[in-house]
Each structure stands twice: as structure tokens, then as C-alpha cells.
Homo-oligomer: A and B are copies of this chain.
Amino acid sequence: MARDTRERIVAVARDLVHGASLAAVSTEDVCRAAGVHKGSLYHFFASKQALGGAVLEHNWAMMSAVLEEAFADDLPPLARVDRFVDSFARMLTLMRDRFGTTPGCPLGSLAAEFAMHGDDARAQAIRLLQAWKAYFSTAISEAKGRGEVASTVDAETAATRALAHLQGLALLAKAMDDPGLVLQAKTDIRLLLQAPR
């Protein structure tokens, strides 16, 4: 029952936050939707912000699963990137179907909000973004080894480019309520992986 309740609270909180900010969701909303009393919420979480941290971690778990699957090495490295973009877009589409509006990036938008809520919150956000970036940089390094990306390209720099681009497309997708926008990341990232001339 215990683990169950905690997870239900986090799941509900994630759904309510979904595309809005944590600030826009109240603990009472969360409790009502989770069928739980305030005391229970504060039994598991020291503060609203701690709940926010758990939501962020929850979203990372989801994203992490998608990353692991998409970046599996049954495909050449650049094809894995494409597969990830497809999965990411599918995820946003699913969320839009479920909630009515397109969310931004489940990591990025929360990361941006938490960045100013104290140093540990920012550190958590940065940690997750770096972990995400690592999937890109690993694949890019491998692509360099295979000659599919020029050897003059720095993998870390290029990975940052790709991550930023995806974040930006997700933000536009949210603003325009059109998850399909992120699909162009496949083409765009190819361009970003070329050597500067």
C-alpha cells in the first residue's frame, strides 16, 4: 500500500503538471486527483518542491526507458537518433491525446522551471539533461568511428546542439500544439552533425 500510494501521488502529479508548470498545480489538486489526504502527501514528501523533484525523476525514468530502447545497438548510430526522435514525437502525441494539449519536453520544461528554485533543484535538472546528452554523444562518437560523421566534429559539442534543437522544437510544438513539429529534428540533426566549414 505504501509504495503504491507514493507512486500514485507522483503519477497523478505528473499528469496534472503535464504541460503546465508545477507552480500552476496545487497540492490539493494532486491529493484530490489521487484520492489521498494532505497528510499522506506530506508523509512521503517534505515539501511541494520535493514532490516536484520526484515528478522530474519520474519523467526521467520514462525518458530513460525510451532512450535505452531507441539507442540500442541493433541499428547504426545515426539511425538510432532517428528512432529516438520518432519515439519522442510519439510520446508527445500520446500525451496530447490523453490530456488535450501538447506538453513540452517532460524534462526540459521542468528543468527550466526548477533551475531557479535553489541549487539542488538546478543540480538535479542539469544532471538529467547531461545524462540525456550522453546518449547523443555516445552515438555521435560511434558514428565518427564509422566515418558517418566527420572526425573534426566534437561529439560533446554536437550532442549539445542536438539536445538544444530537440528542446526548442518541443517548446514550439507545445506553443503551436503540434507534436509533429519535432519530427523534423531527424533532418535537422543530420545538418547539425556536419563539420562546420
Using a CB–CB cutoff of 8 Å, the interface residues on chain A facing chain B are: 19-21, 23-24, 101-102, 104, 108-109, 111-113, 115-116, 122, 125-126, 129, 157, 160-161, 163-169, 171-172, 174-177, 181, 184, 187-188, 190-192, 194, 196
Contact = CB atoms under 8 A, between A and B. Distances in A.
Nearest to A157: B184
26 contacts: A20-B23, A21-B21, A23-B23, A104-B112, A109-B112, A115-B174, A115-B176, A122-B175, A122-B177, A126-B175, A126-B176, A129-B176, A160-B181, A160-B184, A161-B184, A161-B188, A163-B172, A164-B168, A164-B169, A164-B181, A165-B168, A167-B167, A167-B171, A167-B172, A190-B196, A191-B191
Nearest to A114: B175
A160 B172 contact: yes
A168 B165 CA distance: 5
B171 A171 contact: yes
A182 to B, nearest CB: 9
Contacts of A168: 163-169, 171
Contacts of A19: 115-116
A113 B20 contact: yes
Contacts of A172: 129, 160, 163-164, 167
Contacts of A115: 19, 101-102, 174-177
Contact of A175 (B108, B165, B175, B188): B108
5 closest Cβ contacts across the A-B interface?
Answer: A168-B168, A164-B168, A167-B168, A23-B24, A23-B23
